[in-house]
Structure 1
Amino acid sequence: MQGVFTGFVTIAVVIGVGALLAHLRVVDLGAQQLLSRLAFFVASPALMVITLGRADVHAVLSANLVASGTAVVVCVALYAALARWVWHRGLGEGTIGALCASYVNAGNLGIPVASYVLGDAALVAPTLLLQLLVLQPLALSLLDADARGRPTSVWQVVGRPFKNPLTLGSLAGLGLSLTGWTLPPIVADPLALIGNMAVPSMLIAYGIALRLGPGLGKAGSLAELATTSTIKLLLQPAVAWFVGAVVLGVHGHALLAIVVTSALPTAQNIFVHATRYGRGTVLARDTILITTVGAVPVILLAAAVLG
């Protein structure tokens, strides 16, 4: 269980640094915007090249992928229905809300949790690749379409993800993994150095927003916040367990891996996307906070019952 606490405490400390810097007026909301843009346009794409370039893409063809993917579809569909007919959210806000309810922190938290709780960091690869290569490009395409404010053709929708730096970085990393190519040190080392800036930039920016932005639940709907948090913390791992155990017949350690990866909290980069596109920023910030705290007992319970 030490890995769970280590991962969460590490994230909390870095977020706390951002909040402290904001409290001491060393940085302001302008710095938060700068860090978020730096993470979005530069650091995160570099991180994706390095991370996916080293991943085993064949791991996506597994029961883990089927169970995790089904859970994502169910959670997105439920939130989308509520956003459309209950809260009447626009495309941009609805997309961010759907990500809040389904996009897990498979990178900077999922990897250490998979290493220490599950004993193998590769077990998070199916979820990581599913998000980077399917869910994230689709969501960013919708956010781009909303930002343009006018109808787009099918070809524009299909081609837009390939203009996004995160998608390009992900595809470059996937190409390296599929071909088995290794970047020369003169290229890989600078990319790794820049990529290492992605996670701390996201977390510090998030801490600044926590301190200087509206209070928890303010400037937004408490009902919507409760819904995204509940879907993420409870429904997503429950659906993943059902598909894995009942439909696919997975059991033991493999089932634990499916449930734990689905129970991870909402990823910090959703806040970066929300900030970048100016949609659902408060909802993203608050959902990340609640699910990061709430995921600890959920993952501990899953490990105790299925481990």
Structure 2
Amino acid sequence: MEGVGSALGPLFLLILLGAGLGRWRQPGGDFWPQMERLIYFLLFPAMLVSTLAGADVGQVPVARLALALLGALGLFGLLLWRLRHRLRLDPAAFTSTLQGALRFNTYVGVAGAAALHGTAGTTVAAVAVALLVPMVNVLCVISFIAAGTLGTASLGRSLGALARNPLILACLAGIGLNLSGIGLPGWSAATVELLGRAALPLGLVAVGVALRPAALLRIDRGVWVANLIKLVLMPATVLALALLLGLDPVSRDVALLFAALPTATSAYILARQLGGDAELMAALITGQTLLAMLTLPLWLKLVG
């Protein structure tokens, strides 16, 4: 536990620093919304391109990693959809519950993988992001469509946003540069790498700023279901699949880490824009982020 705690402890402290800055409203104005846009549209894509363009992806068991992560994601997405009537959630609450159960905080995942396993962990994490981000976004948009919370205009905008998702585009660019053998030529490699280094610490602080402690007062069926899947059942399933598939220790740890991550802070914006229950989403983001400070080290300690 000491090794896991030493790796993850600084990440959680950065999140708590962000929570303090958010509570004290420092810096003021629209600084943090603008910073989140910079991280999402420039810094984090730069990190993904830098990692994937020069990574030895051949050392990552992509097929088995995909089977473990996407298999569990599809399983719980289908399970939630089949149980939607029994859960007795209105359409808006159901879409937020599904986002809470399936989405993951990419910043915490990549930072955690780097802290645990260095460059090897970052490479596997980048591959995990390339696998998970498209599927998670498709499943969540489908849930909004199927639940009937979207109008025609909103549907068009959401599909357009999916096609322009900077993380998806960055993964495609990085993989394309890698497979072509071009990589990042000349000074561009060092420049993009420097940009990417700023993404993780700033992203973790931004996660803390986005927390809404007042939302923790909401405890209902949607909160219990999403938290149970996200923090208990999803990591247990991915760990079982990882062991069954014989993943190497680095890939196994990163797969488990991504399965046990709290939901993404961006889910709140999506809930507001596409007709979800934004208050439920705020409760899930805040609660899961705080709970994950306890559950993530426990899951990683379980695999040694």
Instruction: Provide TM-score, normalisation by structure 1.
Output: 0.75
Whether the aligned pair in 1 keeps the contact of 2:65 and 2:247 (CA below 8 Å) is no
Deviations 1:38-65 (A, max 9, x none): 2222222222211222334443534233
- Residue 14 of structure 1, CA deviation: 1.2
Letter in 2 for 1:53: A
Aligned pair count reads 292
**1:274 aligned partner:** 268
Letter in 1 for 2:38: L
Whether the aligned pair in 1 keeps the contact of 2:48 and 2:171 (CA below 8 Å) is yes
Whether the aligned pair in 2 keeps the contact of 1:101 and 1:228 (CA below 8 Å) is no
Letter in 1 for 2:240: F
Structure 1 residues 76 and 205: CA distance shift in structure 2, 3 A:
same
Does the alignment pair 1:108 with 2:107? no
Judge which range, 81-90 or 13-22, deviates more. Answer: 81-90
Does the alignment pair 1:17 with 2:17? yes
- Residue 67 of structure 1, CA deviation: 2.0
Q: Distance in 2 between matches of 1:195 and 1:252?
A: 26
**2:40 aligned partner:** 40
Whether the aligned pair in 1 keeps the contact of 2:50 and 2:189 (CA below 8 Å) is yes
Does the alignment pair 1:198 with 2:192? no
Deviations 1:102-132 (A, max 9, x none): 979431112322449xx86555455333124
CA RMSD, aligned part only? 3.8
Q: Distance in 1 between matches of 2:210 and 2:160?
A: 32
Q: Distance in 2 between matches of 1:170 and 1:225?
A: 32
Identity over the aligned pairs, expressed in percent? Answer: 22
Q: Distance in 2 between matches of 1:186 and 1:60?
A: 30
Q: Distance in 2 between matches of 1:157 and 1:15?
A: 29
Letter in 1 for 2:222: E
Residue correspondence of structure 1 range 173-184 to structure 2 within 5 A: 173-184=174-185
Does the alignment pair 1:96 with 2:99? yes
- Residue 275 of structure 1, CA deviation: 3.5
Judge which range, 140-149 or 290-299, deviates more. Answer: 140-149
Q: Distance in 2 between matches of 1:61 and 1:147?
A: 35
- Residue 17 of structure 1, CA deviation: 2.1
Letter in 2 for 1:109: G
Which stretches in structure 2 are left out of the alignment for 5+ residues? 273-277
Does the alignment pair 1:225 with 2:223? yes
- Matched residue SS, 2:30: helix
Judge which range, 40-49 or 168-177, deviates more. Answer: 40-49
Which stretches in structure 1 are left out of the alignment for 5+ residues? none
Which of residues 234, 238, 241 is equivalent to 1:240?
238
- Matched residue SS, 1:182: coil
Q: Distance in 2 between matches of 1:229 and 1:239?
A: 15
Q: Distance in 2 between matches of 1:153 and 1:24?
A: 37
Residue correspondence of structure 1 range 110-149 to structure 2 within 5 A: 110-115=113-118, 122-124=123-125, 126-132=127-133, 134-138=134-138, 149=151
